[in-house]
Amino acid sequence: MRPHRLSIAGSLGIVCLVAFGLAGLRAANELAASVSYSIAIFATVTSAMGGIFSVGGLRTFCVGFASFCGVYLLLAFGPFAEPANTPASPIDAATVNGAPMLTRLLLEALDTIKPGEAPPVVGSDVDVLWNGTYWPSTMIGAANGRFEIHYKNFGSNADEWIGPERIGRSAYRRAYSHQVGHSLSALLLGLIGGLIADLFRRTRPRPEPSP
């Protein structure tokens, strides 16, 4: 039995998906998180349909892909997962620091290739850590290495001067990066699951022909 061969179109599709994933991790936003999640859902549903209507090795691969990818998506985004954080709400510091292993590895590699963001300037939007939570704020002043910030949706009486250690400008971006990473991890696990399922099919003993 000949092994599966990846077509040129399939190779280009994988290259485009990897390129989009790296770009989404580096400059993550709501669009990148939404598109990557939609791709993972589409791949899961398509492979589930392939497991129902296709035959042979393709059917086995589709069943494995849908099982691994679907279970990961359910654990990452399902009812038992942690609520997703978006710029509409504050971000918990533990959520910002936690990410899928694939996301952490790729972000570390990207940070090695390209330096991080420049320090924020007066007038820019920042995320300020207060009581274990990042709050959307605006920097309204800077002097002697300290920054005056205004918390959005709060009055000016809440304005304060803080040190740079409390500023997390990329908090929301990291949260979106984690969502992109979950989607990429689901696709990767789906591919691994499909290959494992196909391996089991190939190693399954065939019934002896009847005389």
pLDDT single digits (tens) 6-54: 556 556 666 777 777 677 666 667 777 788 888 889 999 999 999 999 8
- For residue 55, pLDDT beyond 90: no
Cα angle 135, 137, 138; round to 5:
165
102 found inside a domain: no
Model confidence band, residue 167 (pLDDT cutoffs 50, 70, 90): confident
Q: Are residues 37 and 72 in the same domain?
A: yes
108 found inside a domain: no
Q: How many domains does the chain have?
A: 2
Q: Are residues 146 and 187 in the same domain?
A: no
Question: d(Cα 184, Cα 170) in Å, to the nearest integer?
Answer: 20
For the CA atoms of 107, 109, 114, 117, what is the dihedral angle to 10 degrees? 30
Please compute the mean of the pLDDT values over residues 166-170 and round it to a whole number.
68
- pLDDT of 97: 44
45 found inside a domain: yes
Q: Are residues 61 and 152 in the same domain?
A: no
3 found inside a domain: no
114 found inside a domain: no
104 found inside a domain: no
Q: Are residues 17 and 84 in the same domain?
A: yes
- pLDDT of 123: 85
Burial of 206 (0-12, 13-18, 19+ CB in 10 A): exposed
Question: d(Cα 177, Cα 105) in Å, to the nearest integer?
Answer: 12
Domain that holds residue 175: 10-89+171-203
- pLDDT of 8: 62
99 found inside a domain: no
Q: Are residues 46 and 64 in the same domain?
A: yes
Q: Are residues 69 and 133 in the same domain?
A: no
Does residue 130 contact residue 96 with C-beta atoms inside 8 Å?
Answer: no
Q: Are residues 198 and 185 in the same domain?
A: yes
38 found inside a domain: yes
Q: Are residues 24 and 65 in the same domain?
A: yes
Q: Are residues 79 and 150 in the same domain?
A: no
Question: d(Cα 151, Cα 166) in Å, to the nearest integer?
Answer: 13
Pairing mode, if any, of strands 160-162 and 125-130?
unpaired
Contacts of 15-22 with C-beta under 8 Å, sequence gap 24+, read 17/187, 21/106, 21/180, 21/184, 22/106, 22/110
- pLDDT of 78: 74
Q: Are residues 49 and 83 in the same domain?
A: yes
- pLDDT of 67: 93
